[in-house]
């Protein structure tokens, strides 16, 4: 096989292969992000509807926890973890 490719002066097309790999990674990231966002939204909606039936204090506590989580995530992002 090597002799045939060297006789014909054929070279593997690495540029297209790399571009395809990056394109696939981009699609995978988009799909993964979309699925996780939909899952998080569904969980958030169901949790809020359950808590809302009990009383409004739990909703306020949930909002405070969400704010703390966002701050922590932002801090971790700045540190580069």
CA distances from 32 to 42, 61, 78 (A): 15, 29, 23
Query: The pTM is what?
Result: 0.23
Of 46, 23, 47, 73, which is closest to residue 31 (Cα–Cα)?
Answer: 23
The pLDDT profile of the chain, 81 residues, written as one tens digit per residue, is 445 555 556 555 555 555 556 565 666 666 666 666 666 666 666 655 555 555 555 556 666 666 666 666 665 556 655
């Amino acid at each position: 096989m090597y002799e045939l490719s060297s006789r014909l002066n054929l070279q593997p097309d690495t540029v297209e292969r790399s571009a395809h790999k990056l394109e696939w990674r981009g699609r995978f990231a988009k799909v993964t992000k979309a699925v996780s966002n939909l899952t998080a939204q569904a969980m958030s909606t169901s949790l809020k509807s359950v808590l809302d039936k009990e009383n409004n204090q739990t909703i306020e506590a949930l909002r405070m926890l969400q704010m703390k989580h966002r701050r922590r995530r932002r801090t971790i992002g700045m540190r580069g973890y």
